[in-house]
Amino acid sequence: MSQVPAATRTLRVLRFLAAQPGPVPLDRIARSCDLPRSSAYHLITAMVAEGFVVHLPDEQRYGLGVAAFEVGSGFARHAPLARVARRGLAELVDATGESAQLAVLLGGDVLYILQDRAPGRPPLVTDVGVRLPAYLTASGRAILAALPPAQVRALYPDRSLFVARNGIGPQSLSGLRTVLSETRARGFATEDGEVTPGYASVAAAVLDHNDYPVAGLALTFTRSAEPISRHADGVRRAAALLSDRLAGRSKPAE
């Protein structure tokens, strides 16, 4: 371990913390990152001092700090995926009059990296930089439905990882599998009041050149008597166009 550069160990800790559903104890960080406990303590202490890690003394746990979020926000601003998707989201918003978002998978959560709010529509919880459980969101379900089952199982090995924001949504891996099976059968993902009461979303996966889901593109709107699926075709077309651009199958419009 002494031969491993300190920077490498620091990055391993950051990557580990970013993949966790919440703050974790020091011993778990040390074990997962293959660090002696004393080394992990000194490393974490330095990261707390710099703002990359936050210490929760009452719980004796550590999580990502504000400085880590600032780095992530910088990535979101400059990431090619967000830059390429910006025009497509704007066109979808113009066509539907509803708000659109783009999210990527981060551990068992989704991280929103782009949002285009329709004029006159209220702000949504899915703002840039927000993380939400992937299994509750339409964008997350679109991504998860396109992943191999073994990878989904690895993301949610424990029932305790399932938390319902509003008392609805899958509460186990078995329940999530049912949701994802329905998503694959219909060709798009939905959520209805599971993130915010009174709102629904429809989403489709954005695929890279290997047909791997790199993001979920979603449209969110006020729940009404109209079926949620009314916007499905537009969302699927927008996701397909973005997939084509990422895979190099089409050129961006001039």
Mean predicted confidence (pLDDT) in 227-254: 81
13: how many CB neighbours lie within 10 A of its CB?
A: 22
Answer yes or no: is pLDDT of 1 > 50: no
201: how many CB neighbours lie within 10 A of its CB?
A: 31
For the stretch 108-140, pLDDT in tens is 899 999 999 999 887 888 888 888 999 999 999
pLDDT recorded at residue 254:
37
Which residue reads 């009174």 in tokens?
A: 198
Mean predicted confidence (pLDDT) in 31-47: 93
Better-predicted residue by pLDDT, 214 or 218: 218
At 43, the pLDDT band (50, 70, 90 cuts) reads very high
Percent pLDDT > 90 in the chain is 50
pLDDT recorded at residue 252:
41
In this structure, of 12-26, 84-98, 185-199, the range with the lowest mean pLDDT score is 12-26
pTM for this predicted structure = 0.68
Q: Does domain 6-65 bear CATH number 1.10.10.10? A: yes
Mean predicted confidence (pLDDT) in 237-252: 79
Answer yes or no: is pLDDT of 253 > 60: no
Fold topology of 79-247: Beta-Lactamase (3.30.450)
CB 69 within 8 A of CB 129: yes
Percent pLDDT > 70 in the chain is 92
pLDDT recorded at residue 234:
95
Spell out the domain ranges in the chain: 6-65, 79-247
Q: How far is CA 53 from the centre of its chain?
A: 20
pLDDT recorded at residue 251:
47
Round the average pLDDT of the chain to a whole number and report it. Answer: 87
For the stretch 180-208, pLDDT in tens is 999 999 999 999 999 989 999 999 999 98
Answer yes or no: is pLDDT of 245 > 80: yes
For the stretch 68-85, pLDDT in tens is 766 765 555 556 788 889
Answer yes or no: is pLDDT of 3 > 60: no
The residues with which 109 forms a beta bridge, in sequence order, are 106, 133
Mean predicted confidence (pLDDT) in 231-243: 95
Mean predicted confidence (pLDDT) in 159-172: 83
